[in-house]
């Protein structure tokens, strides 16, 4: 029998997924890169030094190379230095900075541009996301709240607000934001994915799976949505099912490696009784 682990450790694992795998922030503006399961587990403190073991499919939004992003950063950076008040250029510059892992500078650029354009909601939305991307969650909530209005709500901003609330551990409140966003954009896969992971963070894995399945069935679903579903299915001990889902976007060997990695981590760390049910450990290749 595996030795038990307290739920906060599993919550930290899922918090890492929330930070690294949520897709709404990229759908709403600045793009984020895909993350391997091993990197997620490592970031949570569960993965040891094995982050090089598996890889994940890169989302379509990341088709540009790092060199191309750096060229864009140089181009928009020169324009920004010439005119820091140009909101559209500041957003483009920040996006390129984020793509080249210069997130703090991206937030600074957007902050300066926002000071010069305090009522530009597109700029405020980008700034709020950049603040969240650097871990400044309370400030991000304040800025995102000014990026739309009650009479003209933006589902992308609502979803971004939800992801920030999840980072702060306010999962029930986050879920109300996602639900409101879905009233504006029914069945939007990025919002459903965030809602599903919010349920997982709230220790409701059955609802998380059902919501992520809805997201994954959507024709416009990002590959990361299916990887999030695979993770939540795997967290319930159904490893063969998780592997089949992962194979939709990953080569079979990589999908198997991801699930094996999760199985090993949970065999050592998982406390399924505390999640409300025992795992149903499936044999490889069987549902």
Distances, alpha carbon 59 to alpha carbons 15, 63, 101, in Å? 21, 8, 17
pLDDT tens, 180-204? 999 999 999 999 999 999 999 998 9
Domain boundary among 147, 164, 180: 147
End position of a domain, from candidates 123, 147, 171: 147
Higher-scoring residue by pLDDT: 24, 95: 95
Tell me: the pLDDT tens digits for 144-187?
999 999 999 999 999 999 999 999 999 999 999 999 999 999 99
Confidence band for 210, pLDDT divided at 50, 70 and 90: very high
Give the tens place of pLDDT for each residue, 221-274: 888 899 899 999 998 889 999 999 999 888 999 888 888 888 887 776 544 434
The CA–CA distances, whole Å, from 238 to 74, 102, 110, 112, 249 equal 47, 38, 44, 48, 18
pLDDT in the model for residue 14: 53
Q: What is the pLDDT of residue 33?
A: 34
What DSSP state is assigned to residue 139?
H
* Whole-number Å distance between alpha carbons of 228 and 199: 12
- Kindly report, residue by residue over 46-94, the tens digit of the pLDDT: 333 322 222 233 344 457 899 999 999 999 999 999 999 999 999 999 9
pLDDT score, position 264: 80
* Tokens read off for 68: 């191309």
**Together in a domain, 32 and 118:** no
**CA atoms within 13 A of residue 82's CA, in its CB half-sphere:** 7
pLDDT band of residue 211 (cuts 50, 70, 90) is: very high
Give the separation between CA 123 and CA 117, rounded to whole angstroms. Answer: 8
Instruction: Kindly state whether residues 3 and 106 are assigned to the same domain.
Output: no
Query: Are residues 155 and 225 located together in one domain of the fold?
Result: yes
Separation of alpha carbons 137 and 67, rounded Å: 30
Q: Are residues 57 and 77 in the same domain?
A: no
User: Domain span at residue 126?
Assistant: 64-147
Q: What CATH number corresponds to the domain at position 137? A: 1.25.40.10
Please indicate, yes or no, whether residues 50 and 100 belong to a single structural domain of this protein. Answer: no
Q: Final residue of a domain: which of 101, 123, 147?
A: 147
Q: Which carries the bigger pLDDT value, residue 126 or residue 254?
A: 126
Instruction: Tell me what pLDDT residue 37 has.
Output: 42
Check whether residue 160 and residue 267 sit in a common domain: yes
Report the number of distinct structural domains present in the chain: 2
Q: Do 175 and 223 share a structural domain?
A: yes
d(CA 252, CA 254): 5
d(CA 156, CA 65): 26
User: Based on the domain organization, do 71 and 121 belong to the same domain?
Assistant: yes
What confidence score (pLDDT) does residue 31 get?
A: 35
Chain mean pLDDT for the chain: 78
Residues 135-147 have a mean pLDDT of 97
**86: buried, middle or exposed (CB in 10 Å: 19+, 13-18, 0-12)?**
middle
Q: For residues 98 and 138, state if they share a domain.
A: yes
Residue 131 has pLDDT above 60, yes or no: yes
Task: Give the chain's count of helices (H) and strands (E).
Answer: 15, 0
- For residues 164 and 26, state if they share a domain: yes
Check whether residue 165 and residue 228 sit in a common domain: yes
| Angle 5-276-237 from CA coordinates, rounded to 5° | 70
Domain identity same for 29 and 86: no
Exposure string over 54-69, b if 16+ CB within 10 A, otherwise e: bbbbebeeeeeeeeeb
DSSP annotation of 47 reads: S
* Confidence check: pLDDT of 130 > 90: yes
């Amino acid at each position: 029998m595996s030795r038990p682990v307290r739920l906060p450790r599993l919550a930290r694992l899922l918090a890492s997924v929330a930070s690294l795998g949520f897709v709404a922030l990229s759908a709403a503006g600045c793009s984020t890169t895909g993350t391997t399961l091993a990197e997620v587990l490592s970031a949570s403190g569960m993965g040891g030094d094995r982050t090089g073991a598996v890889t994940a499919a890169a989302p379509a939004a990341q088709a540009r190379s790092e060199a191309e992003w750096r060229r864009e950063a140089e181009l928009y950076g020169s324009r920004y230095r010439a005119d820091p008040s140009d909101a559209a250029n500041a957003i483009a510059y920040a996006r390129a900075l984020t793509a080249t892992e210069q997130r703090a500078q991206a937030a600074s650029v957007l902050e300066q541009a926002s000071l010069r354009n305090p009522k530009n909601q597109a700029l405020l939305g980008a700034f709020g996301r950049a603040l969240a991307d650097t871990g400044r969650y309370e400030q991000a909530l304040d800025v995102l709240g000014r990026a739309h209005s009650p009479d003209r709500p933006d589902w992308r901003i609502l979803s971004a607000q939800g992801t920030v609330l999840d980072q702060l551990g306010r999962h029930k409140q986050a879920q109300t934001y996602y639900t409101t966003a879905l009233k504006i954009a029914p069945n939007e896969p990025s919002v459903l994915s965030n809602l599903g992971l919010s349920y997982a963070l709230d220790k409701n894995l059955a609802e998380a799976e059902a919501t992520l399945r809805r997201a994954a069935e959507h024709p416009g679903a990002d590959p990361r949505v299916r990887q999030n579903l695979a993770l939540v299915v795997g967290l319930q001990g159904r490893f063969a099912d998780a592997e089949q889902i992962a194979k939709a976007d990953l080569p079979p060997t990589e999908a198997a490696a991801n699930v094996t990695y999760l199985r090993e981590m949970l065999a050592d760390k998982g406390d399924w009784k505390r999640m409300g049910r025992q795992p149903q450990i499936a044999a490889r290749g069987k549902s």
